Structure 1
Amino acid sequence: MSQSPFGTLNAIAQVIYDKKGFNILALDVQGLSSITDFLLIAEGNIDRHISSIGHAVVEELESQGEKPLHLEGLKTGDWAVLDFGDVMVHLFSPGLRERYSLEKLWQESKIIELEIDVQTPQRASIR
């Protein structure tokens, strides 16, 4: 990653917020997961909203030189996974987030405080 994972987490969280995603949570799973160091979990209203958020995140990170290692669920769904190596993003519909409850699965992880600019909404959607 060209920037720190915390910078990447904040950039992703800002895009999600700007696209009207909600219930944004970042977890430090270093030492608990063998596939990533950080999880960012958020919700969108419906499958198109989740897809729109996911595409905006990919576009923003690619503009910063970060390419996803793997993308899943952007075309179909109520659960999308964006794998950026050190940071993995899960975008859920509210019902599926509750059903799979990743927060409970990773309850031993540390919650990361995110820096989201709530004064300038819609920045990401202007592009």
Structure 2
Amino acid sequence: MQTDKLLNIVQTVLDERKGQYITTIDVRGKTSFTDYMVVATGTSDRHIQSLCEYVSEKVQESGLKPLGIEGGQGSDWVLLDLGDVIVHVMTAQAREFYQLEKLWSVDHAKEVG
């Protein structure tokens, strides 16, 4: 599946299922393990879990098997690895604490020489 199509599925499902503050971070050139990270806020641990389950089901319907999922019932952060897109769904408190958008917005340090 093309990355743009996968990204669109993820964003659409999160929006339809009431994910909040959905942010897409382009990390191409910053890391080799993925192209995009999508970060969203859920309203409870159950909402977080169900958002990732819905995304997983929808991408499987399109023929892509998720590589893995971390976190579960009772977690304040669930990560869904879809290869070219990694989905992070968190509580508002966890999102504020970890600040993934800020972490991944830092540009490469320039070499001093």
TM-score if structure 1 supplies the norm length? 0.80
Q: Distance in 2 between matches of 1:21 and 1:67?
A: 22
Mean Cα deviation higher: 84-93 or 73-82: 73-82
Q: Distance in 2 between matches of 1:24 and 1:16?
A: 8
93, 96, 99: which is aligned to 2:97? 99
Higher radius of gyration, 1 or 2: 2
Map of 1:73 onto structure 2 = 71
Aligned residue type for 1:62: Q
Equivalent position of 1:52 in the other structure: 50
Q: Percent identity?
A: 41
Contact 1:25–1:42 at 8 Å: present in 2 too? yes
CA distance in 2, matches of 1:76, 1:86: 27
Unmatched tracts of structure 2, length 5 or more: 108-113
Which ranges of 4 or more aligned residues in structure 1 deviate by more than 6 Å? Answer: none
What is the TM-score normalised by the length of structure 2? 0.89
Equivalent residue for 2:26?
Answer: 28
* Backbone CA RMSD of aligned residues: 1.2
Aligned partner of 2:81 among 83, 97, 107: 83
Give the corresponding residue for 1:122: none
Is the Cα–Cα contact under 8 Å of residues 54 and 74 in structure 1 kept in the other structure?
no
The one-character-per-residue Cα deviations of 1:59-81 (angstroms, maximum 9, x if unpaired) are 00000011111111133321000
Identify unmatched segments of 5+ residues in structure 1.
Answer: 110-127
How far off its partner does 1:50 sit? 0.4
* Greater RCO, CA 8 A, separation 6+: 1
Paired residues, number: 107
